[in-house]
Structure 1
Amino acid sequence: MNQGRRSSYTSLIFISVLLLCYFGQGFGDDRVPRCGFRGGCVRDGSQQGQPCPDPSNTEVPHREISSPKMLTTSAQYIKQICPYLVGQETCCDDDQVLLMYNNFKTIDSLFGDCSLCSTNIKRFWCEYTCSVYQDYFVDSFEQERVEEVDFPVLIQKVRVESSVVCDLYNSCKKNPFVTSLASGQSAVGFLEFMGSNAVQTGKVKISFDFTNDPEDTLFMDMYPCDLDVDGILDGYKVKQCTCNYCEAACTPVKGSAFPGFFDGFSIIIIVIVYVSLVILSIIIFFVKKKWLSSDDEEETFSEDGNDSQRDNLLNGSKDSNTFLFGSDQNNTISHGASIGKINKSSIDKSVDRSVNVGN
């Protein structure tokens, strides 16, 4: 019995949640789709009802309250520039779609380094031009002449949800073109820069009003540039953004709060240095050992040579004495003879001296 009641309560809760989710979608947005302005190509009388003859030659847009419609001649172009709108009623007409098609080529060339950035920019301008709730966030005023150009333009104010502006800028801020702009240093500056280009290309001067109220604003989810994509996103061909063009896609460097002993050193370089020192030490050791061995051999050879010379000198000296003085016996005899000769001479001299005195 209790089990049956629990099952009934569970079923009722489940059905209530489903009903709330289903009908809650209608409660969240009770706005009636409504367009706020129109634009078109310049045509002469014979070109009325035909596709835009020259997308670069457009008339000044004007305020016009109307209901969204299905596209006719530009269906092939909307598939390339706003693919998520294919098969839906929109507030952009065929001329506006063709104009966007031409202008979006510039977006690809300037912001194509990170395709998620260029995709976000395209989606932003698709919403501005084609959203079925266009009149709720776009205020179109009179046509006026402005300093930038020599023709009148439509003055507009566009209300944008603040998070949309920040997310759009964050997905593009590392793009080289954005970093080169003086106005590209902030989200507001970047959006106003894009709005100023509409003066020349769309004959509209746009000022933006940023708000946190998503009710009557241009509100949409922007894709982060580090989103993991598989090649197709909302019908757009998208590639993964690299660290060069997306700061969030950069892998953080792992580290601790306190530096380690070898932090900042390359282990490979350290090993190479130590191995080189060991090899150099071994080379120096053997070279020095070889030098010492050579010195010892030279010293030994020198000592042997000196001994030989000394012996030769001594032997030569003895030979000379022998040659000069003879042997010891001969020297004694010679010495005695010499003394005898000296004494005899002395006696003879004494006798002669005595005789002379007697006389």
Structure 2
Amino acid sequence: MLWIIALIQFINGTPCGYTLDDNKVPIETDKEPWIIDKLSSCQFYEKTPVCCTQSQDEGIGSDFLSLDATFGSDGDGCDICAANMKRFWCAYSCDPRQGEFLKITGRANVTDPRNPNRTIDVQTVTLRIHPQVACDVFSSCKRTNFASQVSAMSTPGGFFTFQAEQGVSSSLQLIAIEFSEQNSLVMPNIDNCNQTFEKADDGKFYDPYKFEIKKPCGCNTCEDSCDSEKILYQEPGVFYGFDWQYVLFAWGWAILFAIGLTLYRACIKKNVMLQDEEDLIYN
């Protein structure tokens, strides 16, 4: 399916949206998609028309390390979420339809989110994402530690807006996110977070887009991996939190103490009575 879309785009000659200059600064381009035989990061785009250079592809690979550390199992997250995010940024940079879903709007000086004392010159762009893409990718990521701890990522829109804002420093692009079913970034057959994959010849697991899946996503990071028949929560009853062992132990000691105290008082009373009787006899 992907190669058919790419071929149509290649024939129509729609130009790409942006490229990088010799200093790796994003600039607008009217160049049409071209074919690259070998890509190291976005391998599923190999031998098809693309809008990224090999240099861009290598740069994307360095960003993948951050995705693994924040969304993947390296950061106690979900590798399928990280894989979906990798595929998304590959599509953003390399997809031959880039000129349709990405529009260059100018340049601006903005505050570096990583260094408030620094101002950087960035390219401003508008990215249109298909709503289904936003929902499916977000669904695979929303339960990861990173996404669940940042309130700004609690919705699909917030999730992608947060990614765009945080990437300003490295990408030198200020991305405004829009959602549309027309002329938007599409990603068919997005991996579900509980999806399983066959072991490859090298003994590792990969998704259909050649991203490694180191570990399956468990219930903590993927809602769809939870066992629906397992009781995860039960309404507390009248005796919720009632520990019989501690109660019996406490009552046992209380009873023994009461018996001991009673016997002690009885002994004292008996001794007093005996003493009184002796006094009467001798008097």
Q: State the TM-score, normalized to the length of structure 2.
A: 0.68
Q: Is the 8 A contact 1:40 1:95 kept in 2?
A: no
> 1:135: Cα distance to partner?
0.3
C-alpha offsets along residues 278-303 of structure 1, whole Å, 9 cap, x if unaligned? xxxxxxxxxxxxxxxxxxxxxxxxxx
Q: In percent, how many aligned pairs have the same letter? A: 24
| 2:252 corresponds to | none
SS for the counterpart of 2:29 is strand
> How many Å separate the matches in 2 of 1:180 and 1:96?
31
31-40 or 224-233, which moves further after superposition?
31-40
Q: Is the 8 A contact 2:15 2:29 kept in 1?
A: no
> 1:188: Cα distance to partner?
0.9
> 1:33: Cα distance to partner?
4.4
Amino acid at match of 2:56: Q
Return the match for 2:206 from 209, 223, 232.
232
Q: Does 1:144 align with 2:108?
A: yes
Q: Which has the larger radius of gyration?
A: 1
List gaps (5 residues or longer) in structure 2.
Answer: 113-117, 199-204, 241-283
> 1:171: Cα distance to partner?
0.1
> 1:107: Cα distance to partner?
0.6
> 1:69: Cα distance to partner?
1.9
Q: Does 1:39 align with 2:20?
A: yes
> 1:88: Cα distance to partner?
2.2
> 1:34: Cα distance to partner?
2.8
> 1:95: Cα distance to partner?
2.2
SS for the counterpart of 2:143 is coil
> 1:242: Cα distance to partner?
1.2
Return the match for 1:133 from 94, 97, 100.
97
> How many Å separate the matches in 2 of 1:40 and 1:223?
34
> 1:110: Cα distance to partner?
1.1
> How many Å separate the matches in 1 of 2:128 and 2:134?
11
> How many Å separate the matches in 1 of 2:218 and 2:47?
33
SS for the counterpart of 2:96 is coil
Distance of aligned partners of 1:196 and 1:220 in 2 relative to their CA distance in 1, 3 Å threshold? same
Name the structure with the higher strand share: 2
Q: Does 1:92 align with 2:52?
A: yes
30-39 or 192-201, which moves further after superposition?
30-39
C-alpha offsets along residues 79-104 of structure 1, whole Å, 9 cap, x if unaligned? 3x212112223100122112211111
Q: Does 1:160 align with 2:136?
A: no
Structural mapping, 1:153-302, within 5 Å: 153-213=122-182, 216-221=183-188, 222-230=190-198, 231-233=205-207, 234-238=209-213, 239-253=215-229
Return the match for 1:66 from 19, 31, 43.
31
Q: Is the 8 A contact 2:42 2:57 kept in 1?
A: no
Name the structure with the higher helix share: 1
List gaps (5 residues or longer) in structure 1.
Answer: 1-23, 43-57, 265-359
SS for the counterpart of 1:101 is helix
> 1:128: Cα distance to partner?
0.5
Q: Larger RCO: Structure 1 or Structure 2 (Cα < 8 Å, ≥ 6 residues apart)? A: 2
Q: Is the 8 A contact 1:32 1:133 kept in 2?
A: no
Kindly report the root-mean-square deviation, in angstroms, between the aligned alpha carbons of the 2 structures: 2.6
